[in-house]
Structures are given as structure tokens and as C-alpha cells.
Amino acid sequence: MRTLYKFHGGVHPPSHKAQSTQAGIAQIPLPTRLVIPFQQHAGEAAKPIVQSGQHVLKGQLIGIPQGFISGAIHASTSGTIAAIDAQPVAHPSGLPDICATLIPDGKDEWVKRESANYTGLSPEELREKLRMAGVVGLGGAVFPSEVKLKLGQYKVKTLILNGAECEPYITCDDMLMRERAEEILSGAEMLRYILGAQEIVIGIEDNKSEAINAINQAVNITGIKCEVAVIPTIYPGGGVKQLIHVLTGLEVPSGKLPAEIGVQCFNVATVYSAWRAINHGEPLLSRIVTITGNVRYPQNYQVLIGTPVNEVVAAAEVLSGTLGYIMGGPMMGLRLPYDTVPLVKASNCIIAVSKKIFPVASPAMPCIRCTRCVEVCPVNLQPQDLYWFAKSREFGKAQSFSLFDCIECGACSYVCPSHIPLVQYYRFAKSEIKVRSQEKLNADKARERHEFREYRIEREKTEKAEKLAAKEKAVLEAKERAAKANESTAVQPEVNPVAEAALPKELT
């Protein structure tokens, strides 16, 4: 048995996971329209390589990754590209983003798939394949997996699989582990090979007994060495840094990456997708999404990337009284501006919201410094002080009180008896600081440019003046010379210049 460690704080919100785990993972009918954003991952957006009107096959590359941190984008089914333009997407800013609109032809016709045995490939080749398959972290951060597998100077000892799934309502990882445990383990073994790690540990919260059994069984069947660590159910126990701490006792240093302490962590769904990408040659075209909340059939669905939310929830039958949708969980999710936005690689859950499920929050009262937020903060911050600094725009102080170590898990807001939207204040402060530092950077650049311009003008001035002076001098000299020449032609000097030069010496 592995020694488990505890992180500071955490909360126990009602889980509401049972309703969406009554039935297995279901398929939804092919949507009438797919909207595939080119920015579905952390880093740079993919560059579109198809045109409007072009016919594409399922799995065909439509966006190539740009730069070091980026992901490939593929057509989720066969059909015709209707448009490549800005469409509303699920983003906190509410701003539209470049998407490919794909009208399916209904044939679901694949491109040629190349399945490979990973043992015959080098880690570099596997990484390149994963990059071109668009495999990114499916736990929510959508960080390109291939980048996390490129270690550079670091050595990874432990590969951690994140099966904690700590947020209420969400059960997509749970169901994936129940139904596709063997493929998860095969994928884990492949990633272990790429990383050169010594051990694999999977962390699963103790409220998922069926998933735990499934993984244990798969370990026995496949013979893959993987330790199944049953961890206590506590939010945010599935946060990367929290999970690593629970399983290893190590703390990922502030502002550093897990690889620097010899650990790398992948979500179980990511591992599964990586396995499908290599072993079946299937790029990341779909993911499992929990549809729950105010619906008749809360369940997990295998959904094509780009399916509009309204087409997905229709499969689960939305009940009356639904006021809107949340993408993600109730603790960190995002309220969707429109129900036509597409599901993306980051979408693990859609909750149909009604007044009954999420009652109207009471108006915020002043902070009474009761420090319940301090008690639950998993990073051991002082949320009440950060709130104060953010509110009074003392951003420097907020930074010195470790604002950027906040993981925005929302535990503080959850327990606040004054119902202060604390996380919103932190997001505000963070973005203000980022904007200001960018502005400062821009201002510095502008100042440098200005100063250089001043210098250049000054330099040109002096140069001009020098040239002018030189010219005048030359003219003057020429005049003098001309005058002298006139003189010399008029009066021939009798004396030898050399003798003349010697004269004064002799005189002295």
C-alpha cells in the first residue's frame, strides 16, 4: 500500500454523480452540423489548411499545429466544409473564434488509418504522431500531451494517471474507466515507455468503486504494472498539484512543472485517446461528455468534437425550467453564452441549469474575516486578504500574497457565508496584472523606440552639422588655397621651403 498524503483544506460538496452513472456510455446521432474551432488547446491555434466548399473525410487533418505548444485539428466526420469563419465558442470572454463549419455527408467515411505498435517506434516518433493526432489533456487544461512527454533535462520516475474526477456532477472519466480500463492501461504503459518512467500510479477517488474494480481487473488481465491508489473523495483532489501531493507527498514548486520533481500526470481520458491515436491511428475526434442536471436521461455520451451543445442535450431530453447550460462542473465550469456553441476537447460535462438545481445566490455581504476560506484553500492562501487587495486594486500586494498560486478551484467561494464571488475577484486581479505588465512592456518598448528616434534625429543633426562644417571648411580652404595660388602665381617665392623651415631653428 502506498502512503497517502493530505493536502490543506478542501471541501465536500454534494457529488450528484449517481444520476449520470445509471447507464453506460451512449452514442448520439450524427449531428446536422459541426463547428470545429481551431483553438481547442493551450498554446497557439492550429492553422486552417482546408477551404470552404472542400470535401473532407473523417479524421482528415484540417488544422496544422503552429509553433512549440499547439495541437492538430481534424474533421470529426466526413462531409463538406461550409465555412471557415468566426463563430461563438465556449470561452469566458464570450468572443467568437475561428472555426470550421462542417456539414456531415452521413457516410462517416474514414481517411486511411495507420495503426502502429508503439514498441517498434522511438519516443520521438510517438510524440510526433501524438502531436499530429491532436492529443491534448482532456481533464480540462487541454495542454498538448506531446509537449508534456518532451522532458528535456528532467527525468520522470512516476507516471500518474488522474482518475480522481473530484468535481460534482461529472462522471465521464468514471464511465471511461468502467468500460475501457484495458485500453487506458495500455495507453499508460505506452506513455511510461515514452517518458522512461519507473512506475505507474492511478489515483481514483473512493466514491468510484466500480471504476476501481474495473481498473484492478484490467491490471490482472493485461499484466501491466500499475498501482491503483484509492484516494479520499475531497474537492479539489483531482487538481494536478493536489493529486501529486496526495500520491507522493511532493509539492510541485510554485511556478514550476511536475516533471521538475520527477512526476508527470495525465488524465485517464487523455491516456485513452493517446492509445487510440497510436494503436488505431485514430486522431482525437470525439470525447466522452456527461450530460446531466435538468434532463430526463442524465448519461455519458460519446460526442464528436464540434457538436453543438443543443444537439447533444437533445439526446438527453432537456426538461422544462432549464435556464441555460454550464460547460464543466459547478465548481469551475463556464456558463455558456449560447446553446449553439460547439463541444470541444475540453468539454467534460454539460449541466442543464434550473432554479431548483442551482438556487439563486444570496446577495454578497461584507467579509467578516471568518477565515472559512482559509480553512478550505488547497494552496494555503489567505483568500480574505487577496479579496481585499483585489477589491482595493492593490495588485502588488495581491501578488506578494501569492495570487498567482491560486488555482481558482472555487472552494473559498463555496464556503463563504457572505456569498462573496471570491474567485471572480482573483480572476479580475490576475487579468489586470497581466494587462498592466503587458502595457508596461509595450510602454517600455515605445519609450525605447522614442528614445532611439530622438537619438537618431540628434545623430543625424550632428552628422549634418559636421558635414556642413566640413563642407564650409573645404570651401574655405579651397578659397584660401585659391587665394594663395593667386599670390604664388603673382609673386614667385625665392626661398626654398625647406631652408625656410630650417631658419627659425638656426635663429634660436
Partner 1 sequence: MSALFSPFISKPDNVAQIMLRVLLALIPGITVYVWYFGPAILVSIFLASITALGTEALMLKLRGRPITPFLKDNSALLTGWLLALSIPPLAPWWLVVVGTVFCIAIAKHLYGGLGNNIFNPAMIGFAVLIVSFPVPMTQWLTPHGLGQVELGFLDQLRYIFMGALPHNVTLDAITMATPLDTLKTHLHLDEHVHEILDMPIYGRLAGHGSEMVSWGFLIGGAYLLISRIISWHIPVAYLGTLFLTAGIFHLVEPDHYVTPFFHWFSGAAMIGAFFILTDPVSSPTTNKGRLIYAAMAAVITYLIRVFGSFPDGTAFATLLMNICVPLIVLYTQPRVFGKNTKQNEKGRLQ
**Interaction site with partner 1 (CB under 8 A):** 7-8, 11, 13, 168, 241, 245, 250-254, 256, 261, 323-324, 326, 328, 330-335, 353, 355, 358-363, 365-371, 374, 378-382, 384-385, 401-402, 405, 410, 413-419, 421, 423-424, 427
Residue 356 beta carbon to partner 1: minimum distance, rounded to whole angstroms: 11
Tell me whether residue 228 or residue 379 sits nearer to partner 1 (CB atom).
379
- 3-class state of residue 51 by DSSP: coil
Which residues are CB-neighbours of 143 under 8 A, at least 6 positions away? 41, 42, 43, 69, 136, 137
Angle at 344 between CA 340 and CA 349, to 5 degrees: 85
Residue 203 beta carbon to partner 1: minimum distance, rounded to whole angstroms: 17
Contact 78, 108 (CB under 8 A): yes
Contact 64, 43 (CB under 8 A): no
Residue matched to cell numbers 456531415:
104
Residue 424 beta carbon to partner 1: minimum distance, rounded to whole angstroms: 5
Tell me whether residue 108 or residue 251 sits nearer to partner 1 (CB atom).
251
Residue 92 beta carbon to partner 1: minimum distance, rounded to whole angstroms: 8
Which helix or strand (DSSP H or E) is residue 282 part of? none
Tell me whether residue 138 or residue 261 sits nearer to partner 1 (CB atom).
261
Tell me whether residue 223 or residue 396 sits nearer to partner 1 (CB atom).
396
Please state, in angstroms and rounded to a whole number, the distance separating the CA atoms of residues 241 and 2. Answer: 18
As given in the structure block, the three cell numbers for residue 430 are 490576475
Residue 353 beta carbon to partner 1: minimum distance, rounded to whole angstroms: 6
As given in the structure block, the three cell numbers for residue 68 are 512549440
Tell me whether residue 224 or residue 334 sits nearer to partner 1 (CB atom).
334
Residue 163 beta carbon to partner 1: minimum distance, rounded to whole angstroms: 22
Please state, in angstroms and rounded to a whole number, the distance separating the CA atoms of residues 502 and 508. Answer: 11
- Amino acid, single-letter form, for residue 428: F
Tell me whether residue 223 or residue 417 sits nearer to partner 1 (CB atom).
417
Give alpha helix (H) positions in 76-180. Answer: 123-132, 145-148, 172-179
* Cβ burial 53-88 (10 Å sphere, 16+ → b, else e): eeebbbbbbbbbbeeeebbbbbbbbbbebbebeebb
Edge-to-edge strands, sheet with 73-74: 47-48, 61-64, 73-74
As given in the structure block, the three cell numbers for residue 342 are 460547439
DSSP state letters, 293-350: ESBSS-EEEEEETT-BHHHHHHHH-BPTT--EEEES-TTT-EE-S-TTSBP-TT--EE
Contact 329, 304 (CB under 8 A): no
Tell me whether residue 105 or residue 251 sits nearer to partner 1 (CB atom).
251
Instruction: Return the number of other C-beta atoms located less than 10 Å from residue 218's C-beta.
Output: 21
Q: Looking at the chain, how many residues does it have? A: 508
Residue 276 beta carbon to partner 1: minimum distance, rounded to whole angstroms: 30
Tell me whether residue 104 or residue 410 sits nearer to partner 1 (CB atom).
410
Residue 42 beta carbon to partner 1: minimum distance, rounded to whole angstroms: 19
Please state, in angstroms and rounded to a whole number, the distance separating the CA atoms of residues 133 and 126. Answer: 10
Residue 380 beta carbon to partner 1: minimum distance, rounded to whole angstroms: 5
Contact 160, 204 (CB under 8 A): no
Please state, in angstroms and rounded to a whole number, the distance separating the CA atoms of residues 266 and 313. Answer: 28
Tell me whether residue 288 or residue 373 sits nearer to partner 1 (CB atom).
373
Residue 360 beta carbon to partner 1: minimum distance, rounded to whole angstroms: 5
Tell me whether residue 306 or residue 383 sits nearer to partner 1 (CB atom).
383
Tell me whether residue 370 or residue 457 sits nearer to partner 1 (CB atom).
370
Residue 402 beta carbon to partner 1: minimum distance, rounded to whole angstroms: 5
Tell me whether residue 120 or residue 366 sits nearer to partner 1 (CB atom).
366
